[in-house]
Structure 1
């Protein structure tokens, strides 16, 4: 059985001339899904985008990391491992061809989970390697995703 997902993208970069020429418009838009706060976006700063706004590459890497985190928390809970804090600083590696076409060639998730002192670290570590089998986003990308988890044990 399929599940449909929707989004609404609204271009906000018309400076009054539309796309009359390459430099006449901004590469900005809002993700404006009804009932949710808008997310202001721009293209990659290397292409003249606003570095203060999310770009498609940020969003893809963040979605990959968030999906992994949610499955990690679920599996940890099932295994009796109490996670009290979780952060990730993922890194995506991209390549750009001479034509300007680009793509991700790999991503490394670097989660840091704070665990209660009685947690079994072997199980906590093994959970990360099960997630790619079920994570919707990880299963949808065509580049390899690796994991470099770290753990902090509470006193």
Structure 2
């Protein structure tokens, strides 16, 4: 029997310039994400679609969620496996495509973490943990595109 967990947020459009959506170019593609007890996140659409390039867009947030979930599970599995991690930084890449009608989708994502490990760590073991992460990370398990990991290790 499986358990369910509920996650909630409030998303509020903040882009009304006074005329609402009366004209396609007359409103901002911006919103605020609010979750109880947490700082709000001001977001916008992809700049290619009229968004503010200084704010995260849905694609940024999805990619960051994939990366963060992978990182947290990797750290957990590394701890259990005796691989001591001292630092972890990722520069993930999401690859998308836009169809003829203008609708887009992610076709794949590449996680590219640089991981600082304690000198003498078993790097082969560390690398195999990335494959095991996909059995656990519910963000990765929830998307329909492939995710690969190209980890680099630095001994600290």
What whole-Å deviation, never above 9, does each CA across 1:55-107 have from its counterpart, x for those lacking one?
00000000000000000000000011110000000000000012110000000
2:117: which partner in 1?
Answer: 115
Aligned length: 154
CA distance in structure 1 between the aligned counterparts of 2:77 and 2:36, rounded to whole angstroms: 31
CA distance in structure 2 between the aligned counterparts of 1:34 and 1:28, rounded to whole angstroms: 20
**Structure 2 residue aligned with 1:28, among 24, 27, 30?**
30
The TM-score, its normalising length taken from structure 1, stands at 0.97
Once the two structures are superposed, the pairs formed by residues 25-104 of structure 1 within 5 Å of their partners are: 25-104=27-106
The gaps in structure 2 that reach 5 residues or longer are none
What whole-Å deviation, never above 9, does each CA across 1:26-73 have from its counterpart, x for those lacking one?
000000112110111000011111110000000000000000000000
Runs of 4+ in 1 over 6 A off after TM superposition: none
RMSD (CA atoms): 0.7
The TM-score, its normalising length taken from structure 2, stands at 0.97
1:10: which partner in 2?
Answer: 12
